[in-house]
């Protein structure tokens, strides 16, 4: 309160509507007299809430102009006026593209409703043709028959339309209670009722005609299939009766009815799949990330906090000794789950508009390589990097926000004076507007890598590299060995800790604890024996694989580099064997392999 640290007595609490339970800032309320006794009027910040009377029918632009005029009348600059974005977005006219989509969906729904209503009345009329024939017999005219069918449609509409509207209103109210507006709802309900009734009248025209044109004689011999089924001439004296054949016969008894049923079901399925596809295509993650989480899940930024911000440059002073040094980056990267850090370089500036007001903004630079990427977002101006350097030029972002503050959008060639904080103090400098864009911030051209690897080492692993939001590399390990090396590096594992060793050919890793071997003495040196036919791919690097040949009596007769016939087993040694010119070593009673005991693994 301007007099240093002091103890106060808490006399009450206010319950705010916010559902947040992790607030880091809290507001306190004191008496007006005490506040004035501690601070001068110039030191007390003031917030004024205004609402324009009779503004419900005003356009967003007219309402915004009215708000700025009220503020100007009371000496409040445009830069100190904030409008409700939610309200202004709600009253803006619907976008042309969204309007076309809405009309398209409405037409599809209306067509589906017409098809369903037509099918229902067609089936209803064909099922009561005999009754209409009886009415014709006692003197009922075609006009009266049409009135009966029309009255049936009106009766069903009078019962169904209000009930459907009532249920939809209840669902809408329960979904968004705060968005309920009785006047708007009444108008929408009236429009829906009229459109639905028109659809019903259009749909029952054909069934009315069928009912009215049915003569008493036709009605007596009428069946649901008699209007379309034709006798099929065939020389076959009999046909097989199977469930499938019966289904086809029933389908073709009344083709019109069957086609209407299929169309109704098919179109309903199409609408369902379209709705499901649309809902699944909404970029949920993109919506959640918004403008602040394009390149990560956490956003760290500087805040003036308890620093002196009387001149608006508290953050700039902190930036003079940037806390985000290499030590802090290493500390952040050491946190479990953090895979990378991307930095955005911004600085606080103040700009002066023609009316003399001083307003704050953020400024960032762009490199020559980034200049081309900015061209697509420019409303006017150039993106030539050398022109900006030679003419001391700037790009004004968020042109619509600039218009709110200054009353008009900046124009190319306009001069704007900027004020910013440096190590030498506050500097003022004039710049030329060479580009204008509606983007709020310049997207920095950032490069980063996305690396993934399953816990099942060597399975489903790879890397995507991005530069400026574009994927520039897709890497998937080509061999098993490279996949294991890649995954171990991603998880910071040592393959040997998991008993994985590279094989002799270097093509893959093998687990040295997965197989058992018998220790033997071979030619006076230790070795391991297995009945399996091993290859160099099945043993670790630094070991050697040889094979034993069996003689006709079943005993080992020689050790060789390869054995195709009479293979007696494989041996693994830690030293190579010299086979001489013969290419093999024959065994004698003294040099025959000697089995030493229990089984071992390569580990």
User: Over the stretch 477-536, which tens digit does the pLDDT of each residue have?
Assistant: 888 888 888 888 888 888 888 888 888 888 888 888 878 888 888 888 888 898 888 888
Does 2 fall in a domain? Answer: no
Strands 415-422 and 347-352: antiparallel
φ/ψ region of 196 (left if φ > 0, alpha if ψ in -120 to 50, else beta) reads alpha
Q: How many helices (H) and strands (E) does the chain have?
A: 18, 18
63 contacts: CB under 8 Å, gap ≥ 6: 52, 55, 88, 91
Instruction: Looking at the structure, tell me whether residues 131 and 224 fall in a common domain.
Output: yes
Instruction: Looking at the structure, tell me whether residues 80 and 103 fall in a common domain.
Output: no
φ/ψ region of 213 (left if φ > 0, alpha if ψ in -120 to 50, else beta) reads alpha
Whether the predicted pLDDT of 537 surpasses 50: yes
Confirm if 303 and 315 have CB atoms less than 8 A apart.
Answer: yes
d(CA 87, CA 52): 13
pLDDT tens for each residue of 421-442: 887 788 888 889 888 887 755 4
Instruction: Looking at the structure, tell me whether residues 546 and 398 fall in a common domain.
Output: no
Instruction: Looking at the structure, tell me whether residues 374 and 478 fall in a common domain.
Output: no
d(CA 316, CA 386): 28
Q: Which range in 284-293, 394-403, 460-469 is most confidently predicted, on average pLDDT?
A: 394-403
d(CA 419, CA 39): 29
Whether the predicted pLDDT of 287 surpasses 50: yes
d(CA 313, CA 307): 10
pLDDT at 444: 46
Whether the predicted pLDDT of 228 surpasses 50: no
Whether the predicted pLDDT of 446 surpasses 70: no
Structure tokens that stand for 42 in this block: 């110039």
Range of the domain at 258: 96-280
Q: Which of 68-82, 279-293, 400-414, 579-593 has the lowest mean pLDDT?
A: 279-293
Instruction: Looking at the structure, tell me whether residues 46 and 173 fall in a common domain.
Output: no
Instruction: Report the pLDDT averaged over residues 129-147.
Output: 80
Instruction: Looking at the structure, tell me whether residues 69 and 102 fall in a common domain.
Output: no
Does 167 fall in a domain? Answer: yes
d(CA 436, CA 394): 9
φ/ψ region of 374 (left if φ > 0, alpha if ψ in -120 to 50, else beta) reads alpha
Instruction: Looking at the structure, tell me whether residues 458 and 583 fall in a common domain.
Output: no
Instruction: Looking at the structure, tell me whether residues 360 and 413 fall in a common domain.
Output: yes
Task: Report which secondary-structure segment, H or E, holds 556.
Answer: strand 556-560
pTM for this one? 0.41
Instruction: Looking at the structure, tell me whether residues 113 and 258 fall in a common domain.
Output: yes
Whether the predicted pLDDT of 443 surpasses 60: no
pLDDT at 442: 47
Whether the predicted pLDDT of 99 surpasses 70: yes
Q: How confident is the model at residue 546 (pLDDT cuts 50, 70, 90)?
A: very high
Does 546 fall in a domain? Answer: yes
511 SS3 class: strand
Domain boundary among 498, 520, 541: 498
Whether the predicted pLDDT of 182 surpasses 70: yes
Does 395 fall in a domain? Answer: yes
pLDDT at 400: 73
Q: How confident is the model at residue 227 (pLDDT cuts 50, 70, 90)?
A: very low
pLDDT at 63: 84
d(CA 491, CA 451): 10
Give, in order, the Cα–Cα distances in Å from 178 to each of 175, 319, 375.
9, 44, 42
d(CA 495, CA 485): 8
What average pLDDT does the chain have? 78
Whether the predicted pLDDT of 570 surpasses 80: yes
pLDDT tens for each residue of 338-365: 888 877 778 888 887 666 667 778 888 8
Percent of residues, the chain, with pLDDT higher than 70: 79
Does 46 fall in a domain? Answer: yes
Instruction: Report the pLDDT averaged over residues 17-37.
Output: 68
Identify the residue whose tokens are 């419900």: 56
Of 51, 66, 71, 67, the C-alpha closest to 355 is 71
pLDDT at 354: 62
Instruction: Looking at the structure, tell me whether residues 107 and 84 fall in a common domain.
Output: no
Q: Which range in 41-45, 277-281, 397-401, 514-518 is most confidently predicted, on average pLDDT?
A: 514-518
Instruction: Looking at the structure, tell me whether residues 248 and 100 fall in a common domain.
Output: yes
Percent of residues, the chain, with pLDDT higher than 90: 1
Domain boundary among 91, 118, 134: 91
Residue that wins the pLDDT comparison between 538 and 14: 538
Q: Can you say whether the dihedral through the CA atoms of 369, 375, 376, 379 is positive or negative?
A: positive
Confirm if 128 and 212 have CB atoms less than 8 A apart.
Answer: no
Instruction: Report the pLDDT averaged over residues 165-191.
Output: 83
Q: Count CA within 13 A, CB hemisphere, residue 22.
A: 0
Whether the predicted pLDDT of 225 surpasses 50: no
Does 516 fall in a domain? Answer: yes
Give, in order, the Cα–Cα distances in Å from 428 to each of 13, 398, 406, 433, 503.
46, 22, 19, 16, 68
pLDDT at 390: 87
Instruction: Looking at the structure, tell me whether residues 184 and 153 fall in a common domain.
Output: yes
Instruction: Report the pLDDT averaged over residues 206-224.
Output: 67
Does 589 fall in a domain? Answer: yes
Structure tokens that stand for 81 in this block: 């006026």
Q: How confident is the model at residue 3 (pLDDT cuts 50, 70, 90)?
A: low
Give, in order, the Cα–Cα distances in Å from 80 to each of 85, 307, 359.
15, 22, 9
Structure tokens that stand for 361 in this block: 């903004």
Does 601 fall in a domain? Answer: no
Domain boundary among 264, 280, 296: 280
Whether the predicted pLDDT of 66 surpasses 70: yes
HEC profile for 178-191? HHCCHHHHHHHHHH
HEC profile for 406-474? HCCCCCCCCEEEEEEEECCEEEEEEEEEEEEECCCCCCCCCEEEEEEECCCCCCCEEEEEEECCEEEEE
Domain count, the chain: 5
């Amino acid at each position: 309160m301007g007099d240093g640290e002091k103890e106060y007595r808490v006399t009450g609490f206010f319950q705010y509507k916010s559902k947040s339970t992790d607030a880091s800032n809290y507001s306190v309320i004191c008496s007006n007299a005490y506040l004035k006794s501690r601070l001068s009027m110039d030191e007390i910040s003031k917030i004024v809430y205004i609402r324009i009377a009779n503004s419900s029918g005003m356009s967003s632009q007219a309402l915004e102009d009215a708000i700025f005029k009220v503020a100007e009348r009371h000496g409040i600059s445009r830069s100190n006026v904030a409008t409700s974005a939610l309200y202004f977005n709600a009253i803006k006219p619907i976008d042309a593209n969204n309007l076309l989509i809405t009309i398209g969906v409405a037409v599809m729904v209306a067509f589906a409703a017409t098809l369903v209503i037509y099918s229902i009345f067609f089936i209803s009329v064909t099922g009561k043709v005999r009754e209409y024939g009886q009415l014709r017999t006692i003197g009922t005219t075609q006009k009266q028959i049409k009135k009966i069918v029309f009255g049936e449609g009106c009766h069903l509409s009078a019962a169904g339309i209000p009930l459907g509207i009532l249920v939809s209103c209840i669902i809408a109210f329960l979904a968004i209670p705060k968005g309920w507006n009785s006047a708007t709802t009444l108008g929408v309900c009236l429009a829906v009722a009229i459109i639905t009734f028109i659809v019903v009248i259009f749909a029952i025209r054909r069934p009315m005609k069928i009912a009215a044109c049915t003569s008493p004689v036709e009605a007596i011999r009428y069946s649901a299939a008699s209007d379309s089924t034709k006798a099929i001439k065939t020389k076959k004296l009999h046909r097989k009766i199977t469930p499938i054949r019966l289904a086809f016969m029933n389908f073709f008894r009344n083709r019109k009815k069957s086609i209407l049923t299929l169309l109704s079901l098919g179109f309903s399925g199409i609408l369902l799949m379209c709705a499901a596809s649309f809902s699944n295509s909404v970029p949920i993650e993109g919506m959640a990330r918004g403008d602040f989480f394009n390149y990560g899940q956490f956003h760290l930024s500087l805040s003036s906090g308890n620093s002196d911000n009387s001149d608006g440059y508290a953050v700039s002073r902190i930036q003079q000794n940037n806390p985000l040094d290499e030590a802090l980056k290493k500390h952040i990267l050491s946190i479990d789950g953090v895979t990378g850090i991307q930095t955005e370089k911004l600085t606080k500036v103040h700009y002066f508009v023609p009316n003399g007001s001083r307003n704050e903004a953020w400024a960032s630079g762009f490199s020559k390589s980034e200049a081309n990427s900015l061209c697509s977002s420019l409303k006017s101006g150039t993106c030539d990097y050398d022109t900006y350097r030679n003419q001391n030029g700037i790009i004004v972002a968020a042109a619509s926000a600039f218009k709110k503050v200054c009353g008009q959008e900046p124009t190319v060639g306009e001069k704007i004076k900027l004020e910013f904080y440096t190590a030498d103090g506050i500097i003022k400098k004039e710049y030329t507007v060479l580009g204008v864009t509606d983007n709020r911030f310049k997207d920095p051209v950032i490069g980063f890598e996305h690396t993934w690897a399953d816990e099942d080492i060597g399975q489903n692993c790879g890397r995507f590299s991005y530069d400026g939001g574009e994927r520039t590399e897709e890497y998937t390990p080509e061999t098993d060995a490279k996949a294991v090396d890649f995954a171990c590096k991603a998880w910071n594992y040592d393959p040997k800790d998991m008993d994985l060793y590279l094989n002799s050919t270097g093509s893959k890793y093998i687990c040295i604890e997965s197989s058992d071997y018998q220790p033997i003495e071979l030619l006076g040196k230790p070795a391991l024996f297995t009945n399996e036919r091993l290859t160099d791919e099945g043993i670790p690097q630094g070991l050697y694989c040889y094979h034993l040949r069996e003689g006709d009596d079943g005993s080992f007769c020689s050790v060789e580099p390869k054995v195709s016939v009479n293979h007696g087993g494989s041996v693994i040694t830690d030293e190579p064997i010299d086979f001489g010119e013969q290419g093999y070593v024959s065994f004698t009673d003294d040099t025959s392999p000697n089995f030493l005991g229990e089984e071992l693994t390569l580990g």
